[in-house]
């Protein structure tokens, strides 16, 4: 099914849930004492992705994670953010990543950090800029070395400038697990349930090519000190135009999930 890479963080195997090899694989893993993470996701053809109104850009970290964000020195404006969870924090500096994670960038065209910040190489950033894609901006990316300071990398952070309204309550596989009074953070998805994002037709009437969810996902640890914060993060929702640019650039490591649009 797959040839493991001894230097890789993990080996990803994708099988249809009806594939007769699936129970054989699970039994083999149990016999060998190998741990694994099982995720259930919907898969779509290129034709289905082309017809979608928006696609969730879902990165699954095939080569390991890149530590970045506030604890690495990236700065944020908290004036419009929730003071309890940090949702709505506005980045004000270049993205700073940990230098020890540079190997994750090798051979890739696009990756995501542990905070779901999207990073693209300079060539892909140029293609996105030249395409006229809306709702998009870029920031520099620096690697932080403990004794040598920060060094700029030939990568760009892809930033979204447009936030959608809250998703429809008919979305499934998505829920807050430690609700904040602001109602905006601590959302997560379930490994065993395919996430399916739904929006009202009126909420996607004025979309851009790159959009951010109103909901912020992931763990939260914020006591007022941004430099020690673990912020939640929004997801990227992009049009098929952006997906085609990623596809034509040979980008791997992403699942693309169409949203469902409901009549108001």
Q: Do 94 and 14 have their domain in common?
A: no
- 75-93 b/e (C-beta count within 10 Å ≥ 16 → b): ebebeebbeebbbbbebee
Q: Do 128 and 100 have their domain in common?
A: yes
pLDDT exceeds cutoff 80 at 3: no
Q: Per the structure, how many domains does the chain have?
A: 2
Q: What is the pLDDT of residue 182?
A: 94
Q: Do 1 and 85 have their domain in common?
A: no
Structure tokens at 72: 């690495």
pLDDT exceeds cutoff 70 at 201: yes
Q: Do 10 and 135 have their domain in common?
A: no
Q: Which helix (H) or strand (E) holds 150?
A: strand 149-160
Q: Do 12 and 132 have their domain in common?
A: no
The tens digit of pLDDT for each residue in 51-104 reads 999 999 999 888 888 999 999 999 999 999 999 999 999 999 999 999 999 999
| Reported confidence tier of residue 11, pLDDT bands at 50, 70, 90 | confident
Q: What is the pLDDT of residue 147?
A: 73
pLDDT exceeds cutoff 90 at 40: no
The predicted model gives 2-18 an average pLDDT of: 78
Q: Do 80 and 8 have their domain in common?
A: no
Q: Do 194 and 225 have their domain in common?
A: yes
Q: What is the pLDDT of residue 155?
A: 98
Structure tokens at 260: 């469902």
Q: Tell me, what DSSP letter sits at residue 221? A: B
| Closest C-alpha to 196, from 14, 54, 1, 80 | 54
Distance CA 72, CA 169 (A): 35
Q: pLDDT averaged over the chain? A: 93
Q: What is the pLDDT of residue 185?
A: 93
Q: Tell me, what DSSP letter sits at residue 180? A: -
Q: Do 51 and 174 have their domain in common?
A: yes
Q: Do 29 and 51 have their domain in common?
A: no
Spatial neighbors of 17 by CB under 8 A, at least 6 apart, are: 40
Most confident stretch, 124-128, 148-152, 185-189: 124-128
The share of the chain scoring above pLDDT 90, in percent, equals 81
Q: What is the pLDDT of residue 177?
A: 83
Q: What is the pLDDT of residue 8?
A: 67
Q: Do 85 and 188 have their domain in common?
A: yes
The predicted model gives 146-166 an average pLDDT of: 93
The predicted model gives 152-168 an average pLDDT of: 97
Q: What is the pLDDT of residue 99?
A: 94
Q: What is the pLDDT of residue 39?
A: 84
Asked whether the beta carbons of 131 and 241 are under 8 A apart, the reply is yes
pLDDT exceeds cutoff 70 at 7: no
Q: What is the pLDDT of residue 20?
A: 94
pLDDT exceeds cutoff 90 at 14: no
Helix 122-130 × helix 240-248 angle, to 10°:
140
Distance CA 222, CA 231 (A): 7
Residue span of the structural domain in which 175 resides:
46-262
Q: Do 149 and 212 have their domain in common?
A: yes
Q: Do 159 and 250 have their domain in common?
A: yes
Q: What is the pLDDT of residue 1?
A: 67
| Reported confidence tier of residue 111, pLDDT bands at 50, 70, 90 | very high
pTM for the model stands at 0.89
């Amino acid at each position: 099914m797959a040839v493991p890479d001894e230097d890789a963080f993990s080996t990803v195997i994708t099988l249809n849930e009806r594939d007769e090899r699936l129970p054989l694989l699970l039994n083999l893993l149990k016999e060998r004492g190998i741990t694994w993470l099982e995720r259930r996701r919907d898969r779509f053809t290129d034709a289905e992705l082309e017809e979608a109104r928006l696609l969730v850009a879902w990165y699954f970290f095939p080569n390991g994670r890149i530590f970045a964000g506030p604890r690495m020195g990236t700065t944020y404006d908290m004036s419009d953010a929730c003071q309890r969870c940090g949702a709505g924090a506005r980045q004000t500096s270049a993205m700073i990543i940990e230098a020890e994670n540079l190997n994750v960038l090798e051979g890739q065209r696009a990756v995501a950090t542990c905070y779901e910040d999207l990073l693209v190489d300079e060539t892909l950033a140029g293609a996105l800029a030249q395409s006229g894609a809306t709702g998009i901006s870029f920031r520099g990316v620096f690697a932080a070395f403990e004794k040598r300071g920060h060094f700029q990398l030939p990568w760009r952070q892809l930033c979204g400038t447009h936030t959608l309204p809250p998703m429809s309550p008919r979305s499934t596989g998505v829920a807050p697990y430690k609700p904040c009074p602001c109602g905006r953070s601590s959302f997560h998805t379930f490994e065993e349930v395919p996430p399916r994002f739904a929006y009202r037709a009126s909420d996607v009437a004025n979309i851009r090519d790159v959009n951010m969810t109103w909901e912020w996902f992931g763990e939260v640890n914020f006591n007022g000190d941004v430099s020690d914060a673990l912020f939640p993060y929004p997801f990227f929702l992009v049009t098929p135009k952006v997906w085609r640019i990623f596809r034509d650039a040979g980008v791997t490591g992403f699942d693309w999930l169409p949203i469902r649009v409901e009549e108001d």
